[in-house]
Each structure stands twice: as C-alpha cells, then as structure tokens.
Chains A and B, each alone.
Chain A
Amino acid sequence: MKYVDEFRDRGHAEALAGAIRRTATRPWTIMEVCGGQTHSIVRFGLDALLPSNLTLVHGPGCPVCVTPIGLIDQALHLASLPRVMFCSFGDMLRVPGSRGNLFDVKAAGGDVRIVYSPLDALELARANPDREIVCFAVGFETTAPAFAMAAIQARRLGFTNFSLLAAQVLVPPAMEAILSAPGCLVQGFLAAGHVCTVMGYEEYEDLAKHYRVPIVVTGFEPIDILEGIAMLVSQLEDGRTVVENQYTRSVRREGNVVAQAAVREVFEPTLRAWRGIGDIPHSGLKLTAAYADFDATVRFRDALAQAGSVGGEDPDCQSGLVLQGLIKPPDCPAFGTRCTPENPLGAPMVSSEGACAAYYRYRRDTRPGAIS
C-alpha cells in the first residue's frame, strides 16, 4: 500500500539499523516524545534492531495518559447529567477517574458517544437542539485545531447547546519540564511529527539551544523512526544540538499557520496538571474569554461545583516516572501483576498509546527467548 509499505520495508530498515550501529560509538539515551511513536517502536520491535548502547525511553506524549484525574472526574460528572450528550474520542472511555470511567457512566445510563472528529459532535448539537452536547477536548497540538474549528463553527451557526471540556496539552512545556527535572537521562529527542505538522518547529529551536539537546522532528512509521534515530545519533556523536526535520513529507518549519490561527482565536495557554507528573506552567489550553459560552466549565459551573473530585492516584502506580522516561514499564513492581489493561492502576496501562499498555500487549513475557 502506497505511503505505508515503503515506510515498513525490511531491507531499508536493516540498512538504517546498520548505519546507526556503525555511527553510535558511545551509549546514548533518546526519548521519543509521542505515544504513537512508542506504539510503533514496540509494535514493530524496532528497539531489537538497535545496538545495545542505545536506550530508547518513552515520553509523555500520550494525551490519554496525562489528562489529570480531576478533569476525568469532571467529564464523568458532566456525562452523567441527564440533559448532557457527552462526546469523546474512544480512547478516553476506559481511563479511570477517581470513581470509575466513562464506560461505567454509559452503563449507568449516561449518554456517552464516541466521535471521530469534534465536527461530529457539532453535528449532534445540530440534530439534538434540546440536548446539551459536551465534547471532551483531549489531545496535543494535533487535535487542537479541530476543536477550535468546532467552537468557531458553533459560534458562526449560533449553536447554544455545544461546549468543550478543554483538556488540551502542549508538548514543548512538557519537554522543558523533563529536561529541567533532576536526574534527567534524556540526551536527545524525537519530536512528535504530527504536533509539528500543526505547530512547526521554531519553538523547539529555543529548547535545543537552551538545553543543548538535539531534537529531530520524526514521523511514525518504522522507517521514519529509524531515520530520526540515525539523525539524532549522528548529532550526538558530532556534538551538534540543533533541530532537524526527518518528517519532511508532513512538517514545515512554520507549520500550518491557518490551523495555528484557529487555535489562537479559541484557546490560550494555561497551567495544567499532568497526570503522574504534576503541574506544568503554560502547558495546557483553555478557552479564551471570547469563547466562554462554549466552555463547559463555565456553562456547567454550578453542576461541577457540586461534583468535587477525591482525586487520589493509586500509590503503587509509577506512571509519572514512566512518563518522564525515568523507568521503563516492566521496572514498575505493579506491571503485569496488580496493574493490567483490565485493571489499570494508571492511565498509561489504558490507552493504546500508553507505554505500559504497549509493553503489556507486545512483550509481557520477558523470559529470554520467549518471544522469538
């Protein structure tokens, strides 16, 4: 299949892996930022092709994983209101709040709908004028333009029954938090290709310069990731610390300026708690005052005030360390024992892009030779 097969070609992959082996003379630790990249690495077994002196650690780029428990609790409460039709991407339905998840709310009679695009939620708003449509705006910069467009369109069409529960997060502040944390192991980043498709990569140039860390904007197919690693290793070996773009078929330095303008019109940066990591300044998006009518936290202020959140995480869950690249999922004592996809202690065991779920699904039998 065009645009897929050529990026999964075994010969090309082996040639790139060979080049990486020849280039890497010292041990290096690299973080892939995006959960989609983590998923690809584990699904295609890319790390098995890499030399042993190269360590890949998995970053926080899984929106499902980092959405704070307080916001999930707000979602659960809104979804259980009789007049609300609560729309979410499918991934979010299994994520545990402090009391159950959206599937539990649905089973208890809540009207929870899986949508593929925020515009689908807008269509529901048009078709159901007597219902309140609340859309869970989850994701990184990649999905922000679609939510922004939905809000702009809702205002243009005069919809009064549509609102967003904004849980958007931004990548560069999270990378900065990882780099400035004590004990940071990361020496180079594979930046998230689709985030940069929207945002471009100018903002990463400051990060590279300030923290003296090489960054390669990288795609999601196996060949993309191996190419990105090859470029990164070559920078590390040469002592260069610049931003390079592997994902040229999708990413331009300035990004998608139309999409950026839509996001700026509707959202503004805000302090956001990252599940397992903590508060990061300017790392989230909230609706601007001009779009307050479409802000579910404003619209349902009274209802949410009654809800409250007990907010506790399971003390055995080490997802914060996993999300910062400080440990790998199997290093957590709860991995595969107390914590499984059926009974997740933390969000990274839930999402298909969560590092813990990826490890559980593709390689939980870690005995030598078990998977060969």
Chain B
Amino acid sequence: MADVPELKLHCPLPEKNATVQLAHGGGGRLMQHLIRDIFVRSFRNPLLAQMHDGATLPVSEGTLAFTTDSYVVRPLFFPGGDIGSLAVHGTVNDLAMCGATPLWLSAGFILEEGLEIETLQRIVDSMAQAARESGVSIVTGDTKVVDKGKGDGVFINTAGIGVVPPGVMVGPQRVVPGDAILVSGDLGSHGVAVLSVREGLSFGGGIVSDAAPLHRVVADLIANGIEIHCLRDLTRGGLASALNEIASVAGVKLSIDERTIPVHDEVQGACEVLGLDPLYVANEGRFVAFVPEAQADLAVAVMRGHAVATEAVRVGKVDGRESSIVVLKTVLGTHRILDLLSGEQLPRIC
C-alpha cells in the first residue's frame, strides 16, 4: 500500500484538469482517495470520520422526522446557489416543514465520467458550507460513477433526519376552516434565476435564487407559541401546487388574494415575457404556513424577523369543507380556480 499517499494536513488541491473516471466509483484506491480527499475532508465531522458503513446516531426525546430528495439541476451553478447548497437546503427545508430541527444528512453522489474534480470540489465545498450554516452534519454517503453521457455532471441525493419537539404536530390533516394562510416572502426568484442562466436569457440578469435554509424561522414560530397547523416549502410547482396538494389532503377550500402575493418586478417581468405564471415557478427558500387566524399577525411578525422571510405576508384563508379547490381572487376582484398544472410549465409561443 506504499503507493497510497497519506491524507495530508495541507489542502490537497486536485490536480488541474483532473476528471472523474469510472474507477472513482469502483471501490478501489481511486474511490478511497475521492472519499477521503474530497468528501471526508470537506464534510469533516466525528460521525463521518468513523468511516463506517453507516452512521450511528444518538436519539433524544421527541419524534424523528426523516426525508429524502434527489437533486438534478442544470446548470450546476446558478446565481445564488449551486446543486450542492441546494441539496443541503432542500432536505433541511423538508425537515423544517415537518416542524423538525434538522440534525443529520446523508449524501449520495452519482457522478458522470469526465466531470472535473475541481467542479466536484466546488460543489462539495458549497455543501459543506451550507451544512455548517444550517447546523447539520453530513454523516454518511455513497458515490457511484456512470458512463460519460449517462448523467448530467452530477446528481445528488440527500436524506435527512431531524427531531420534532414534543407536542409539535405539523401536517395537512391539521388544516381547518378559518386558518390563515401565510407566505414567507416574494415568489419565483429561484426558478427564474436558474432559467435565465440555463437558457442564456439576457433579461434575467440580476435575479438571484432565493435558496436558503428555513428551519430557524420555523423553530422561532414554535418558540413563540404559534400553533402551526401545516407548512410546505414552495419548490417544484410553486405556491399554486403546494396549495392544491394541501387542499386535496385536508379536504378544504382555500381562498387566496392575488394582490397580496409578493412577486418582485424583475421576476414578474421575466415571467410575463416567457409566458410563465410566478405562482407555479419553483422557490428554494420560501414556504407557506397555515396557522390559527388569532395567531396570524404574530406569526407574520416573527417570520419578518428573519432575513429569509422579511416579506412574509398573509395571502388568504381556509374557507370551508364544501370542496377541495383553491380559489384565487384576481387583481380585478373576480374569482377563478388556481389549479395544478398537468405537467411542466412551458413557455408559450407568442
């Protein structure tokens, strides 16, 4: 084993122009190097450092929340984030939406042969930073390499475990008529930011993704005694899809006032040109909250105390149980259904 270099204390910058090869996923020395020099070094924490097949985690009181999500985004880097930070924030936020304090993540990488090691290092560094900032540890992982052309550079799966404090129950079945519906901030920045770089749109410049961890806002709501009935992060499908899912599971009719929904001018402008509706555009740092009407004002005030939710606002209410639809009061005061899209939102012809 003399030819295997020891883990150096100084930063072992990857060889310039080095790329991921199939052998990096083959279980041999190359894979060991990759794990040690890239993943373990960047994600450094005592649980991962045990280099075991899995992580053993201490359990406390409360309930465990467990979630998983896979991240496939093109381009890998976009204004305001990258696939690495997204893979941490997305899973942290899924746990936060359960009312949980996120604690541990796993990270599974599917790397495409030929991916530059330098690019992988940037992504992993970004994950490590996002994990530090979110207060979570990446405690176990996996790496596979697929043939060139069989992947989009890198796909990442993260699973997460968090702890829900005793007495906290968050879920769509708790939504009841009379609840106020709150949104944590302006909508659409993430989707438009990614689209603007993916498609090289000249007018999308300056729009930065809203990707951010949301669990501290949720923890603060709980600490302030807000009886949160339901939370949902507004990722794929945006606000409209989240509301429809909740209306359907809870068996309630939701009424939303379009005039109250915050959308910044540059996002609105890009959406107008492309024929997209910001209510369906993905966000990575926004959520909707269902809380009792009596606590709505306090909840908005608590949310606005956080940098990721300064534009939190009340957008509607839970109306009744006569149907499971979402009704939008338009800017003109008329009413229409806010529906699920049947597929992906497609830019229109003219």
What residues of chain A have their CB less than 8 Å away from a CB belonging to chain B? 1, 4, 8, 10, 13-14, 36, 42-46, 48-49, 63-64, 89-94, 114, 116, 138-140, 142-143, 194, 222, 340-342, 351-353, 360-365, 370-372
Contact = CB atoms under 8 A, between A and B. Distances in A.
A140 B350 contact: yes
Given A1-B269, A352-B275, A89 B332 contact: no
Contact of B342 (A14, A90, A93, A340): A340
Given A1-B269, A143-B350, A45 B336 contact: yes
Instruction: Rank and list the top 3 A-B pairs by shortest CB-CB distance, nearest first.
Output: A45-B334, A90-B346, A341-B342
B75 interface: no
Contacts, number: 101
B265 to A, nearest CB: 4
Contacts of B343: 94, 341-342
Given A4-B268, A352-B275, A63 B350 contact: yes
Interface in B313-331: 323, 325, 327, 330-331
Most chain A CB neighbours (cut-off 10 Å) among B268, B272, B333? B333
Contact of A116 (B199, B327, B331, B332): B199
Contacts of B348: 36, 89-91, 351-353
B274 interface: yes
Contact of A194 (B265, B332, B335, B350): B350
Contacts of A89: 347-349
A371 B337 contact: yes
Interface in B131-188: none
Given A341-B342, A361-B339, A372-B327, A45 B332 contact: yes
A143 B349 contact: yes
A351 B350 CA distance: 12
A362 B277 CA distance: 13
B335 A371 contact: yes
A302 B325 CA distance: 51
Given A8-B331, A89-B347, A94-B346, A370 B336 contact: no
B18 interface: no
B201 interface: yes
Nearest to B273: A116
A10 B346 CA distance: 29
B201 A139 contact: no
Contacts of A361: 337, 339
A361 B326 CA distance: 11
A36 B323 CA distance: 30
Nearest to B334: A45
Interface in B272-320: 272, 274-275
Nearest to A42: B336
26 contacts: A14-B332, A36-B350, A43-B330, A44-B330, A44-B332, A45-B330, A45-B334, A46-B332, A48-B334, A49-B334, A64-B349, A91-B346, A91-B349, A94-B343, A94-B346, A116-B199, A116-B201, A138-B349, A194-B350, A222-B331, A222-B332, A352-B275, A362-B336, A362-B339, A365-B325, A370-B323
Contacts of B199: 116
Given A46-B334, A49-B334, A116-B199, 8 more contacts: A44-B330, A45-B335, A64-B349, A143-B350, A352-B275, A353-B349, A363-B337, A365-B337
A91 B347 contact: yes
Contacts of B339: 360-362, 364
B313 to A, nearest CB: 17
A370 B346 contact: no
Interface string B92-106: 000000000000000
Contacts of A43: 330, 336
Given A91-B347, A194-B350, A371 B336 contact: yes
B301 to A, nearest CB: 27
Contacts of A14: 332-333
Contacts of A4: 268-269, 272
